[in-house]
Copies of this chain bind each other. A is one copy, B any other.
Amino acid sequence: MQLGFVSAILGDLSLEQVLEFARDEGFANVEVMCWPPGGADRRYAGVTHLDATQFTDDDARRVRALLDRTGVAMSGLGYYPNPLDPDAAHRRTVAEHLKKVMTAAQKLGVGVVNTFIGRDPALSAEANWPRVREVWPELVRHAEACGVRLGIENCPMLFSKDEWPGGKNLATTPALWRALFEALPSPSLGLNFDPSHLVWQHIDYVRCVREFGPRIVHFHAKDTRVDADRLYAVGSQGLGWHTAKIPGLGDVDWGALFSALTDAGYRGAVSIEVEDRAFEGSLADRQRALRQSKRYLEQFV
């Protein structure tokens, strides 16, 4: 395993600056954000470190040169929209861009593209299933054609009232992963595994690694902390009782998790994802968050 980070937290730096920071701090790789240009519609989204909309072979050469010069790898390209958005036009836009990101990954020789399955939050998981079957086969075929594996992050996307009740991503639990891998039986479909989302769903993430280890194609190192006082007030079905933290400052048992990952034979990237509001005051704070997370994780990686 090699330590890296998700580029979204350095959205105010250019790709070159991001890679140079990674090199200077000893990170082996970066997951590069590939939102279409034009800005974010939610926190942590909208960063365009690599513009996949018209990504040419020349662009690929330039980026590869940058990687060669800095010695930093790309662990994956990342684009996390809602491919199952209720609005059909939006779904089409999203699918088109996601395919462009895969094509860019192919040009760059990057083997992983990370994203969400998406979900209509107003519908139950079951009621979203027909749309999965409508949208995803084509996307998976495109991944196969590009020779990339899709890393579906297991984030419920259920943090604020507008995402209630179902959240904006189906791929959140072992039961749903089993269903996905049965419905879309392609080796190109995998998981971008983030333990922080499992902590607050009260799902045993170590057992997940034992069951789904071979499906993990990318890994987000993010922690989360349950706030006992808020949980008391609103209960586990409420919102706002868990807080994203950097690794070591939350409830994840990282030793047990990496123990399972080593036994599962995972040898990919460990990509630090900073969404800890205590470290978002300035660029220096966010860089400090990456540095501290790295120091913490190096004892296990």
State the A residues within 8 Å of B (CB).
124, 126, 156, 158, 161, 164-166, 172-175, 198, 200-204, 207, 225, 228, 231-238, 243, 245, 248-250, 255-256, 258-259, 262-263, 265, 276, 278-279, 292, 295-296, 298-301
Contacts and interface: CB of A to CB of B under 8 A. Distances in A.
Given A124-B165, A165-B124, A249-B259, A235 B202 contact: yes
B262 A278 contact: yes
Nearest to A175: B233
A203 B259 contact: no
Number of copies: 6
B207 A232 contact: yes
A279 B263 CA distance: 9
A228 to B, nearest CB: 8
18 contacts: A124-B164, A164-B165, A165-B165, A173-B233, A173-B238, A174-B234, A201-B237, A225-B259, A236-B237, A243-B263, A245-B262, A248-B299, A249-B255, A249-B259, A249-B300, A250-B259, A292-B298, A296-B299
Contacts of A202: 202, 231, 235-236
A276 B233 CA distance: 28
Contacts of A232: 174, 203-204, 207
Contact of A262 (B124, B164, B249): B249
